[in-house]
């Protein structure tokens, strides 16, 4: 199973878990960011890297706009 499928499965599992307590807007934003990263990823990053990148992008959105 590639990284994108692993992350998608994790996201779907979290959405189904009734014990998962988080603001709906935060959850949707985080899952949306993870999905965006996996669609754009051409390197097949490990799932943990994608999750960390999504979190960093949410904390510091201005970093996503920086062009090197």
Question: Tens digit of pLDDT for each residue in 3-62?
Answer: 677 777 777 877 787 776 777 787 788 888 888 888 887 888 888 888 888 888 877 777
CA gap 2, 64 in Å, rounded: 24
Q: What is the pTM of this model?
A: 0.50
CA gap 31, 25 in Å, rounded: 10
Angle formed by the axes of helices 3-16 and 47-59, to 10°? 60
Residue whose entry in the numeric block shows the structure tokens 């990263």: 37
Q: Which of 51, 6, 10 is nearest to 30 (CA)?
A: 51
Domain definitions of the chain by residue range: 3-64
């Amino acid at each position: 199973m590639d990284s994108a499928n692993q992350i998608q499965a994790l996201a779907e599992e979290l959405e189904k878990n009734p014990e998962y307590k988080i603001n709906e807007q935060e959850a949707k934003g985080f899952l949306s960011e993870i999905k965006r990263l996996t669609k754009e990823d051409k390197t097949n990053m490990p799932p943990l890297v994608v999750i960390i990148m999504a979190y960093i992008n949410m904390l510091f959105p201005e970093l996503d706009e920086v062009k090197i």
